[in-house]
Amino acid sequence: MGQILSNPVIDKEHHSGADKLSAFGLCAMQGWRMSMEDAHIVELDANENGKSGDHIALYSIFDGHGGSGVAQFAGARVASILQQQSAFQEGKLAQALLDTYLATDEALLADAALKNDHSGCTATSILLSEQQRLLVCANSGDSRTVLATAGCAKTLSYDHKPTLVSERSRIYAADGFVEMDRVNGNLALSRALGDFEFKSNSSLGPHEQVVTCVPDLVSHSLDYSRDEFVVLACDGIWDCLSSQECVDLVLHGINAGGMSLNDIASRIVDVCCAPTTEGTGIGCDNMSITIVALLQPGESVEQWFERVRAKNHARPISFALKRKVIYNYFEFPEDESRIFDVTTKKPQDRYPGNGNGSGAMDVDETDADAPEGTSGRAAGIPTINGIPLEALLGGGGISIAQGPDNQPYLSGNLSDMLASFRSHYGAAGGDAEADGEAEGQDKVTEADTEADTDADAPAGNKASER
């Protein structure tokens, strides 16, 4: 899990903005880690002075490991490196991102202070083109980018883990090995910027090294009648939430009203930050998330909120409820207003005595973030211990078990059972059909993406650690 603090650093970095193409809200927090190793880019118009006249937005998340040097360099330099690429100037966005990732590694090696730096960082980036009505995603590592289309999570990137067949084949071909699910027993991801100790074979090209910076590339033609927003986040978020769960939380914040994109991003960080370090290690990482609204031509941010709310993508979930489901081993205070104490109060002001990780979880039927007087049961949604069943089956991998003193508690993993159901009964709901329709619009341009890649791996697969 890496070194952690006795109390999390809860000061948050916030950014927000909007123009005619997109709007965004960003939140980043150090959390329980010894230092902050994430960086980011938000460029509403990266092509402001470009020859083509196209309006192109750039968003990136960089998740550092082994130090912050490479991530900070990427956050400061990638936008300018992109603008220097001839493919970018010609409007060839996928090629431009590929060239940018390669050029960034070259720039790191040319930097006297960083060429011998042992740190690295994952990178996930998108370019949005107004003229081409195109979204292009590049990804190296296990940060992730997800598109919300018609309320469904559509994965635009794939987590690069050394256990994947495609990644493991390259690693062994470059005389590396995989031990304890890590590259050379050390690195829990297989693609990254930096990490030059894994790129030292001079007889191999950049795409053949034990660890490569070469990204997977996915191009998606924008359909503003269906496509709503994009989420870019580091693995500190994805360790806790599946892609669909994150989309559902954003939709919950939108439907609640009165919350900005920045507010929603901040609350998702609160949901994911562990209440104690005595659990599994999940929720103890740095956390960064950017929510990008896809604005129709001439649409304001307020009109975008109204448009998405009008679709009524209702989900049996809330921020407070999801936090309880993720950390089901923790005895949260009965006062629902204090469920987020760990990320909103200084250590001396937090509730005492709940960090022992023992005791059964008792969930109130009333959703703390639902309209007054409503609950899962009142709305006709089946519940278990007051928790809507759909919330438990929505990717959290939770089951009910009997604990000491015959007290029920939540544990286990339902993913295998659900997969079995799908394979035997061919379950394909409306959301899956909608996602399939959107899938047909996309073009994957990196051959290394394999069917065995699981972007929504169960929570508990800790990554981006050395």
- Closest to 16 measured CA to CA, from 265, 237, 253, 257: 265
Structure tokens at 345: 């109060």
User: Is 32 among the domain residues?
Assistant: yes
CA distance linking residue 460 with residue 361, whole number of Å: 20
Instruction: Round to whole Å and give the CA distance between 356 and 331.
Output: 8
**Do 275 and 361 fall within a single domain?**
no
Q: Are 41 and 169 contained in the same domain?
A: yes
Q: Is there a single domain that holds both residue 229 and residue 164?
A: yes
Domain holding 313: CATH number? 3.60.40.10
What is the phi/psi pair of residue 265, to 5°? -60, -45
Residue 121 lies in a domain: yes
**Same domain for 353 and 314:** no
Q: 394 and 268, same structural domain?
A: no
- Decide if 397 is inside a domain: yes
User: How many structural domains does the chain have?
Assistant: 2
- On whether residue 31 sits in a domain, the answer given is yes
Considering the domain architecture, whether residues 356 and 245 belong to the same structural domain is answered as: no
Domain-located, residue 427: no
Give the amino acid at 349.
D
Predicted local confidence at residue 336, as pLDDT: 80
Under 8 Å between Cβ of 23 and 301: yes
Burial of 170 (0-12, 13-18, 19+ CB in 10 A): buried
- The answer for residues whose C-beta is within 8 angstroms of residue 464's C-beta and 6 or more apart is 63, 65, 122, 141, 142, 143, 188, 189, 234, 235, 236, 285
Predicted pLDDT of residue 87: 95
Whether 204 and 173 have beta carbons less than 8 Å apart is answered as no
Count Cβ neighbours within 10 Å for each residue of 220-236 and write b for 16 or more, e otherwise: bebeeebbbbbbbbbbb
Statement to judge: residues 310 and 364 lie in one domain: no
Query: Is the CB of residue 288 less than 8 Å from the CB of residue 28?
Result: yes
User: CA angle 13-14-17, nearest 5°?
Assistant: 150
Q: Three-class SS of residue 323? A: helix
Domain range holding 80?
4-318+437-444
**Tokens at 353, concatenated:** 């005595």
DSSP class per residue in 6-61: EEEEEEEEEEEEE-SSEEEEEEEEEEEESS--EEEEEETTTTTT-SS---EEEEEE
335 in a structural domain: no
Q: Clarify whether residues 312 and 358 are in a common domain.
A: no
Give the model's pLDDT for residue 49. 74
Residue 59 lies in a domain: yes
3-state SS, residue 164: coil
Handedness of CA 83, 84, 85, 91 (dihedral sign): positive
Task: Provide CB contacts within 8 A for 83, sequence distance 6+.
Answer: 46, 47, 50
Would you give the DSSP letter of residue 216?
E
241 and 386 together in one domain: no
Q: Do 276 and 368 lie in a common domain?
A: no
- Mapped onto helix, strand or coil, the DSSP state of residue 383 is strand
Residues 17 and 151 in one domain: yes
Taking only the tens of pLDDT, the chain with its 466 residues reads 568 898 999 999 999 999 999 999 999 999 999 999 999 999 999 988 766 789 999 999 999 999 999 999 999 999 999 999 999 999 999 999 999 999 999 999 999 888 888 899 999 999 999 999 999 999 999 999 999 999 999 999 999 999 999 999 999 999 999 999 999 998 899 999 998 999 989 899 999 999 999 999 999 999 999 999 999 999 999 999 999 999 999 999 999 989 999 999 999 999 999 999 888 889 999 999 999 999 999 999 999 999 999 999 987 889 999 999 999 999 998 888 889 988 877 766 665 544 433 333 333 333 333 333 333 333 444 555 455 555 555 444 444 444 434 444 444 444 444 444 444 444 444 443 344 444 444 555 443 444 344 444 433 333 334 4
In this structure, the answer to whether residues 306 and 374 fall within a common structural domain is no
The owner of tokens 């939380």 is 249
Q: Output the CA angle 454-142-106, nearest 5 degrees.
A: 135
In a domain, 460, yes or no: no
Helices (H), ranges, 27-176: 69-84, 86-89, 93-110, 165-173
